[in-house]
Structure 1
Amino acid sequence: MSPSDLFSGSPWVSALVVLLFIQSPVIVWNLLRSAPVAYARFVTETGKSLGPWRPGAYDPRVRPPGGAEPAYRAYWAQQAWTDAVSATAAGATDIWRRVVDVWMKDRVRPMWNLYRKPYGRRETWEVLFLRFFSVGVALGALLGSLAAAATAAATTLVFGVLLGAGCAALVLAALCLRGIDTGRLVVGRIRMKCPHPGCYHSVALPVYRCPGCRHPHRSLRPGGYGVLRRVCECGQVLRTSFLTGRHRLDAECPECSLPLPDGLGSARLVHVPLIGGTSSGKSMLLQAMVAGLLARMNGGELSVRFARDADRREYERGAAQLASGGGIGKTTAVQPTAVMLYVGKRYRKRLLYLYDPRGENLESPQRLREQEYLAHADALVLVVDALADPSVYAGLPPDERTRADLASPSAESPMHTYERLSGELAAMSGRRRRTPVAVVVTKKDVLHRLNSLPTLTDGVDGWLRAVGLENLVRGLEHDFGACRFAALSAQDAVGTQPHPAERRHAAEPVLWLLGRTGLRIKKARPAVASGRIPPRPTTDPGVAESS
């Protein structure tokens, strides 16, 4: 279309074209004036609306913590989008306000109304001139504001894309951290279990307590409350992943709300119940085992740490009683609480749960089924009181029976205890064939003084066969994946005059069971020839193993 065609049509079109041509310098000038100012004001108002910039100032847009988690939502998860919307709205409102108030009311209207004459008089050419060009000013301001709005919209779109990409990256990072935590548990075969009686619940994620306000956090993991950390409602910063130190917080079982051991989830869990009849010496054996582990720690062979202060205090109380010539009381709890220890070397460690149930719990199938921790057992310690076997006791001469009675033999034969355990364990866990068993003959100091019995100098399994417990040995070797036989005098290990070698020897069954889980502890010094247990050991006694 040629310029002449524009003027060949309607006179109104021609007049409009002429008007725009004459007004074009005014329109362009005001467009160039209004657009940068409007966009600059958009940026300024957007920045101001992101405040308050003073720390601690009240902001009604920030949602207070509450709900399931007593923590603030992460900025990227919620507040960033709230701020983006409110900031964009504030900037767009400022562009509109400048068009209406600054340009139309403060500039265009005065030009239109300048020198208004009284009614009936003709207007001068100056007034007509200003009114004529006020149209150009208005058009320029409108076009400039539209250009600023378009630029602001493009900027907002780019910002939204970047914000979305950043949030997506943080979501991906949270999922990766969750995957790393889960993968570490799977690869390390770490199963978190509650150690408390009546619970023994599998813990997928503990409840962590804030060290500041002690409020419980039931879902402390990377997510909408923070990727690497979260902020409790009291202002305390909490780590959200094992990699960042979450396991150092106080934890509770989500089922029973009782405290869990320190650092639960940092090491593979190994459940080891001590099985034996009443008065078979389980409690003394447990005390001797812990003392043996601590003795080896002092020798530099391994590291040992109590997972709970309560267990450490209980052990120290028992050690003080034994050192003063007293004894350890019988277990009275219907369901035992595990004694928890971290055992390992450098970065290789295990969280050891040692259960000491009372013998009455094992005297009937019904009571045995109530021992829920047996379903989680990774290994067993079978405590054998040979004097409790009727055939062994009947073969003693009268004077030796009196001596044996002073040792308080168990009321139930170890064979009966084993038969009941073997059947119920197969039904409870289904892992009997894969469960290693450390068989410990207790009261070795008493057995050495009974001359009618074979001398405990050969392999312990051979000694058990010799005294008439061959069926017990055969059953163990047939029903379980691996067996280790040892003899121990807990009195010589932790009594008033403990023997260092016997104390160290008390840890052998536990270390062997831990070795079956892949934790190999290199000895600081070589032991004597295996398969021999001297009457008064001066070095580590050997043990017999069957698999």
Structure 2
Amino acid sequence: MRLIGRLLYTTACAVCLVLVSTPLALVALPVGLAGGAILVLGVAGAVLIGQARWAPVRTPEQVNRGSLPGRVSPAFVRRDLAWPQYFAVQVALDVRAAAEHCRALVRRLWARPAALLRRPRVKRWWPLYVPVLAGQLAVSLAVAGGVAVVVLVAATVSAGAWLVGGTVVQLLRCADAGWQVVLRSRASCQHCYQLAAVPAYRCLGPHPPGHRLDGTDLHRDLRPGRLGVLWRRCGCGWLLPTTVLRASFSRRLEAQCPSCGERLLAGAGVVTDVRMPVFGAASAGKTQLIMSALVGLHGLAERAGVTVTPADDHSRQRYETYARLMAEGAAAAKTEAGAPPVALTLRLSRGPRVALVHLFDAAGENLVDQAQNARLAYLDHARSLVYVLDPFSIRRVRDEYAAGAPEVFVAANPATYDPEDAYNATVQRLQDYGVRTDRRRLAFVVSKADLLEKLAAGPADPAGVRAWLADNGLHNLVLAAERDFREVRWFLVSGLDSGPDGGLGPADWILAQEWRSHRG
């Protein structure tokens, strides 16, 4: 009986295989292939449209903590709080998530029928598993092929996006850098005196208070890159423009100094930046020179069709004080020793051309003392410097005229430091910090021309300043200045004169080199 039963069972299985399972398997193959393809498309679509909760998303917080590939320049500290470009990292996460989910679904497809087949009663009906097996194989092959196609398409599109996007990024960055080179634009901080090519920008969007306190709302590198090519999506949700040129005109951003975090002037990093550090011994007439230069620039602007305005409240108040003193013929107050350098900024505009002109005044004691002048970082970034020499501090002038005209020397209040020491202290500091002074210009100013005229002791005109200095024992200083700097221009100046014979003379010469022309 057992033999007959086995024969009947084998016959039934054979009939089932031929008449039922094989036709069903032939149907299951194309159905499985189509189902597998649809499965892959459905999973990939769910991931792409963001409906797959199991797909990881690279968030701005993760980017800010350093989870985005690629190195960050030390100058920018860390990645900004912003959504990364899709092809920077999210495409890889999406492809991996889609492949993992498809693999999990296929495993489930194989696991459930196999579990049923292990049951004793179900094992007897194994021929009916053949079409199921055919469907499983078809689905698995379709899913494997579909995932391979998704990976290939994603890799191809990503490569194209990187090629096009990388090219656009480099072009935009070059345009930014080219603009700054042509216009000599830099972001100049009036508080820490540092200079930056790329300002930091504070997003004015709806950030929590914690972001304001720890600087998370600060975008230190708004150049095109992994966080956006033309636009960037901040972590707060606001859309921000990239490139320094566009960011400087955005109402959603506020320029900040990347070094100290203080607010920068409007146009910083985009408009021409002219820095005029004035150095020399105490009582040499530096502040008086700056005072006459500020007032003189306003007068010159009216005649030349240039609009001149103080760039901030501090500069406005200082200009008003200087204008009043110049009108009264009074002298400027001496800069206090040990006090921070005074930075005054004017905004000059003529048509579309704009410049921020910074004049820096530090106490002569700070400049002569090497321990003090080490903090004067503004000296390092200037293309042109102004050295002020007090003629009454020259030994030969003092020996020859002091006894015969004591009242003039009292009015002159001569500088106590030797002119060569005052010059060498600052120039040596620049060279010690790696500044190529041979690429800089120097306006060499002999001050207090109005008092020299009373002695009939000075040069007849600025053209004779060099020879006059050499004749009065400063031949070595003259040679040192011409050796140390690329170009030296000599000036004879009265701080009480707001015209070309005052501080306007050297200031106008520097502006002619750095703003009105684009040479050197």
TM-score (norm 2): 0.69
Displacement of 1:314 in angstroms is: 3.4
Shift of 1:149: 2.2
Supply the distance in 2 between the matched residues of 1:462 and 1:360 (Cα, whole angstroms).
29
The match for 1:149 is 143
Equivalent in 242, 266, 269 of residue 270 of structure 2: 266
Q: How does 1:82-481 map to 2 (within 5 A)?
A: 82-90=93-101, 134=128, 137-138=131-132, 141-142=135-136, 144-146=138-140, 148-166=142-160, 168-169=162-163, 172-173=166-167, 176=170, 180=174, 184=178, 195=189, 203=196, 206-212=199-205, 213=207, 214=212, 215-245=217-247, 249-266=253-270, 270-300=274-304, 310-319=314-323, 328-332=332-336, 333-341=338-346, 352-363=357-368, 371-389=376-394, 391-392=396-397, 401-402=406-407, 405-406=410-411, 408-412=413-417, 414=419, 417-418=422-423, 431-448=436-453, 450=454, 452-453=455-456, 458-462=460-464, 470-472=472-474, 475-476=477-478, 479-480=481-482, 481=486
Aligned mate of 1:27, from 21, 25, 28: 25
Instruction: Give, in angstroms, the shift of residue 282 of structure 1.
Output: 1.6
Q: Is the 8 A contact 1:49 1:90 kept in 2?
A: no
1:274 CA displacement: 1.3
SS in structure 2 at match of 1:209: strand
Q: Contact (CA 8 Å) 2:87, 2:158: kept in 1 or not?
A: no
Match of 2:489 in 1: 484
Query: What is the total number of aligned residue pairs between the two structures?
Result: 475
Which is worse superposed, 318-327 or 477-486?
318-327
The whole-number CA distance in structure 1 between the counterparts of 2:372 and 2:46 is 71
Report if the CA contact (8 A) 1:279-1:409 is conserved.
Answer: yes
Query: Do the aligned residues in 1 keep the contact of 2:180 with 2:269 (CA within 8 Å)?
Result: no
The 2-side partners of 1:286 and 1:459 are apart by: 21
- C-alpha change, 1:245 and 1:443, in structure 2 (3 Å) is same
CA spacing shift, 1:426–1:510, aligned 2, 3 Å: same
In the alignment, which of 64, 71, 74 is matched to residue 82 of structure 2?
Answer: 71
Code of the residue aligned with 2:236 in structure 1: it is C
Asked if the contact 1:301/1:521 (under 8 Å) is kept, the reply is: no
Please report the RMSD computed on the Cα atoms of aligned residues, expressed in angstroms: 5.0
* Contact map agreement 1:303 1:344 (CA 8 A) in 2: yes
SS at 1:224 equivalent = coil
Q: Secondary structure at the match of 1:491?
A: coil
Moved more, 276-285 or 411-420: 411-420
Moved more, 168-177 or 376-385: 168-177
Residues in 1 aligned to 2:516 and 2:219: alpha-carbon distance in whole angstroms: 33
* Structure 1 segments unaligned to the other structure (5+ residues): 1-11, 114-127, 494-501, 523-547
**Amino acid aligned to 2:477:** G
Name the SS of the counterpart of 1:339 in structure 2.
strand
> Quick one: percent identity of the two aligned structures?
25
CA–CA separation in structure 2 for the residues paired with 1:160 and 1:375: 49
Question: What is the TM-score of this pair, normalised by structure 1?
Answer: 0.67
- Cα 1:236–1:132 shift into 2, 3 Å: closer
Separation in structure 2 between the aligned mates of residue 297 and residue 287 of structure 1, nearest angstrom:
16
- 1:63 & 1:413 partners in 2: Cα distance? 62
1:329 is paired with a residue whose SS is: coil
Mean Cα deviation higher: 375-384 or 471-480 = 471-480
Displacement of 1:438 in angstroms is 1.7
Render the CA deviation track for 1:436-468: whole Å, top value 9, x for unaligned.
3223343444555x2x41687x42242675699
Shift of 1:356: 0.9
Aligned to 1:40: 38
Task: Quote the Cα distance in structure 1 between the aligned partners of 2:373 and 2:136.
Answer: 87
Gap runs ≥5 in structure 2: 1-9, 66-77
Q: What code does the residue aligned with 2:227 have? A: Y
Provide closer, same or farther for how the CA distance between residues 20 and 342 of structure 1 changes in structure 2, counting only shifts above 3 A. Answer: farther
| Aligned partners of 1:343 and 1:352 also within 8 Å | yes
Q: Please tell me whether Structure 1 or Structure 2 has the larger radius of gyration of its CA atoms.
A: 1
For residue 510 of structure 2, the aligned residue among 510, 513, 522 is 513
**Could you report, residue by residue, the CA deviation over 1:267-312 in whole angstroms, capped at 9, with x for unpaired residues?**
6655432123333332122132233334444444556565655434
CA deviation string 1:244-284 (max 9, x = no partner): 43687544444444445544443665543212333333212
Structure 1 contact 392–467 (Cα < 8 Å) conserved: no
Return the alpha-carbon distance in structure 2 between the equivalents of residues 326 and 59 of structure 1: 74
Higher mean C-alpha displacement, 362-371 vs 67-76: 362-371
